[in-house]
Amino acid sequence: MGLAGVDNRDVKLIMVGGKGGVGKTTCASAVALKIAMEGRKVLIITSDPAPSLSDIFEKTIGDTETKIHDEYELYGLEVSSDIVLKRWKERFGPEIYEVVSSFARVDYDFVEYIGTAPGIEEEYMLNFIMELVEGGSYDIVVWDTAPAGHTLRLLKLPELFLSHLEAATKFYMNMYGYIEKVKDTVRLRESKKTLLQIIAGWEALSERIVEFIRDRTSVKYLIVTIPEALGVKMTRRVIRELEENSLAVENIVINNVVESADCDFHRLRKTMQEGYIDELIQAYRDKALTILYLAPHEIKGMERIAQAARLLFG
């Protein structure tokens, strides 16, 4: 057993997901280090609100791309929601303002207001990641996502990406009763674009993101789980939802597995875990399942991350 396909040369993005606390950051770090050690330039990025990369790599990272290995081309980035929202506003603020202010009397503050709507940050995160990948500064990006609920929301959104803006615009325009007549001719105040061009731009971006995250050659999904009832249940749900959205999961890591038991406590745990491991094996015959044993220590610092990588890649 061992991770399959994630270190292929064609892979440009690896997304690591799973329930809270199951070892996502640990696995993402191990994968990133392994690939960097093969001589490629790697960026590991976390969108988790709790900046965990700095802890695991024992190095201050923060919201600028920071080199985290002396020898290899391994970089880290902890993106905060502030940064993501700032970029979102830069990208869409002017257009949104133009569109809305063409038929309603609003201040520019309106953009700030839309920026606080739930889901905006997750939506824009995909765009942010896509730009990083396509920017070509790195051979591969490893994305340590926030705990499952968040990730699911994010992955369900791509089809809807920006469509709420479009829908809102259409709604208002219809209300004003002239969209069909004027949308392709109304030239917006500040820009050379028409309303239709702006909306078409949003739609095109949305389609590009969906295409990007569904590309099975360049994007790999790795789900981390633990052999416990809740872990397995969440995993099944996450994988079902990803696959319903045409996103293929090829790798599952089963973490915190007790390797050998020499006392009743561990024997009981091991037996309990085996049932869930069997369930996962039965359910996911088509996927690569990799076991990561529970270590007697935390996984922190380059040496231990490298050790976890050796276990993951077999």
Ligand X SMILES: Nc1ncnc2c1ncn2[C@@H]1O[C@H](COP(=O)(O)OP(=O)(O)OP(=O)(O)O)[C@@H](O)[C@H]1O
In the chain, the amino acid numbered 196 is L
Nearest of 21, 23, 57 to residue 42 by alpha carbon: 57
Radius of gyration of the chain measured on its C-alpha atoms: 22
- Selection from Mg ion, ligand X, none that 306 binds (CB < 5 to 8 A by kind) is none
Among 52, 127, 235, 290, interactor with ligand X by CB under 6 A: 52
Q: Which of these segments, 3-11, 98-106, 174-182, 295-303, binds ligand X (CB under 6 A)?
A: 295-303
* Alpha helices by DSSP H, 159-263: 163-175, 179-182, 195-214, 229-244
Tell me the closest approach of the beta carbon of residue 224 to ligand X, in angstroms: 6
| 181 vs 233, beta carbon nearer ligand X | 233
| Per CB under 6 A, 147 contacts ligand X | yes
CA atoms of 22 and 133, how far apart (whole Å): 26
255 binds ligand X (CB under 6 A): yes
Cα–Cα nearest to 142, from 206, 82, 74: 74
- Rounded least distance, CB 154 to Mg ion, Å: 15
Out of 3, 6, 25, 195, name the contact with ligand X by CB under 6 A. 25
Q: Answer yes or no: 63 catalytic.
A: no
Q: Are 259 and 294 in contact (CB under 8 A)?
A: yes
Between 23 and 158, name the residue whose CB sits nearer to ligand X: 23
Please say which residue, 82 or 298, places its beta carbon nearer to ligand X.
298
Per rule CB under 6 A, is residue 295 in the interface with ligand X? Answer: yes
Rounded Cα gap, residues 314 and 301, in angstroms:
20
Task: Please identify which residue in 256, 269, 290, 302 interacts with ligand X, judged by CB under 6 A.
Answer: 256
Q: In this complex, which beta carbon is closest to ligand X, that of residue 110 or of residue 293?
A: 293
* Among candidate residues 35, 39, 33, 73, the one with its CA nearest the CA of residue 56: 33
Tell me which residue of 158, 160, 280, 164 sits closest to 219, measured CA to CA: 158
Catalytic residue (one of 48, 82, 107, 278) = 48
CA angle 289, 224, 262 (to 5 degrees): 75
Q: How far is the CB of 71 from ligand X (least distance, A)?
A: 23
Binding to Mg ion (CB under 5 A) within 196-255 occurs at none
Q: Which does 20 bind (CB under 5 to 8 A by kind): Mg ion, ligand X, none?
A: ligand X
Size of the site for ligand X (CB under 6 A): 19
Residue 52 is a binding residue for Mg ion (CB under 5 A): yes
CB of 22 to ligand X, least distance (A): 5
Cβ-based neighbours of 136, under 8 Å, separated by 6 or more: none
Per the DSSP assignment, residues forming a β-bridge with 67 are 75
- Are the beta carbons of 251 and 6 closer than 8 angstroms? yes
By the 8 A CB rule, do 204 and 197 touch?
A: no
At position 92, the amino acid (one-letter code) is F
Q: Which is nearer to Mg ion, 52 or 169 (CB)?
A: 52
Active site residues: 48
Binding residues for ligand X, per CB under 6 A?
18, 20-26, 48, 52, 147, 255-256, 292, 294-295, 298-300
